[in-house]
Amino acid sequence: MGPLIPLHIIPETWNHVIAVLLGMAFGFIMESSGFSSSRKIVGLFYGYDFTVLRVFFTATVVTAIGLYYFSYMGWIDMSFVYIHPTYLTAAIVGGLIMGLGFVSGGYCPGTSLIGAAIGRIDGIVFTTGLMIGIFLFSEAFPVLEGIYEGTGMFDGDFLGYITITEYFNISPHLFIFGFTVVAVAAFYFTNLIRKRVKPVNY
């Protein structure tokens, strides 16, 4: 029966309304997890706070397990679920830029909006920088088009709407199980690390 919007069970016009509601819920959960603090977020990078890892690993594992049970029950058609297309060079370059901005600014795009929304000055500065970045990218797009669309000298970058399990031809169920084990192990070991390092006040 699902996904609800691509199969027109919920009309397309509700798309943005639902997006806003989900966005508010997302922001609320992020803020209540403490993600409006840039120091908490970069704590993962410096090794004194692993909340980011816990929240995102938990979210990913719960979603993956839930989706595949839904798929088994016939409640969702996985072939309609959006898969982000893979452009190899663009993903690597973009990942580096994003990581650099992430660790130096202390926010990722979503959390910077949360920081700005509750009035944190670093959040507001980061969001402003984000907008400037979007503007510069848009203006420079003709130059960057090749890398963005996998054309020209980046021909062959486009790997399609591919997932890890399809690429390596392994069962998604097995992969999710392995991923869950890794996640729970990561929770355990990061907790050990957290106990050893000097607590940081922020």
Partner 1 sequence: MSKRYFILGAVLIIVAFGLVLLPDSVNKDQVPPEKLLKEIMSQSRYISPDLVASRMIDEDPSIFLVDVRSAEEYSTYSLPGALNIPLENLLDNEWKPYLEQTGVDVVLISNDNLYAEQAWVLCTRSGYKNIYVLKGGLNQWFADIMQPQMPAPTEPAEAFDLYTFRKGASKYFGGGSDDQMVTSNKSESLPVIQRTKKSAAAGGC
By the criterion CB under 8 A, which residues form the site for partner 1?
3, 5-6, 15, 19, 61-62, 65, 68-69, 71-74, 79-82, 84, 108-111, 161, 171, 173-174, 176-177, 179-181, 183-184, 187-188, 191
Nearer to partner 1, 45 or 69 (CB): 69
Write phi, then psi, for 2 (nearest 5 degrees): -100, 175
- Rounded Cα distance, 165 and 182, in Å: 16
Least distance to partner 1, CB of residue 134, Å:
13
* Beta carbon of residue 140, minimum distance to partner 1 (angstroms, whole number): 21
Q: Determine the Cα–Cα distance for residues 120 and 138; give it in Å rounded to an integer.
A: 27
d(CA 29, CA 56): 11
DSSP 3-state of 155: coil
User: Cα 76 to the chain's mean position, in Å?
Assistant: 22
Judged by beta carbon, residue 189 or residue 202, the one nearer partner 1 is 189
Distance, CA of 157 to CA of 177 (rounded, Å): 30
Residue 153 C-beta: closest distance to partner 1, Å: 26
Q: Which is nearer to partner 1, 153 or 195 (CB)?
A: 195
CA nearest to 31, candidates 103, 110, 131: 110
Q: Which region, left, alpha or beta, applies to residue 82 given φ > 0 means left and ψ of -120 to 50 means alpha?
A: beta
CB of 64 to partner 1, least distance (A): 8
Least distance (Å) between residue 110 CB and partner 1 = 5
Q: Given the complex with partner 1, which of 23 and 152 has the nearer CB atom?
A: 23
Nearer to partner 1 among residue 124 and residue 176 (C-beta): 176
